[in-house]
Amino acid sequence: MRRDELCDPKLCPDAPDDGNRCDHCTLDRLDGAQSSEAGLLIRRALDIRAALKLGIHVGLDDIRADEFYAMLILEDEREKLDREQLNPHGR
């Protein structure tokens, strides 16, 4: 969810001098995960969520069960992130 915080080749001590990413870059691992079956499922769930927010009518018959459960997990994670941002020190 925070892709821009994962990698900055200018700051990574293991990055090659040519400005590319290091061999164990977390951003490369994220890219691989997003291309996996689970990553594509999450992308579909995010796309459906965006469509709903835009007011596009999507019924339960239009959503696969795995997409629906992925949407529930994403919503739960979004709520956790919101709580963390409101109370960053856990007090």
Of 63, 90, 61, nearest in space to 74 by CA: 63
pLDDT of residue 34: 86
- Indicate the domain borders of the chain: 1-35, 37-91
Alpha carbons 70 and 91: distance in angstroms, whole number: 29
What are the structure tokens assigned to 16, written together? 């090659």
pLDDT band at 1 (very low <50, low <70, confident <90, very high): very low
pLDDT at 29: 77
pLDDT at 4: 66
pTM of the model: 0.66
pLDDT for the residue 25? 77
- What's the pLDDT band for 19 if we cut at 50, 70, 90? low
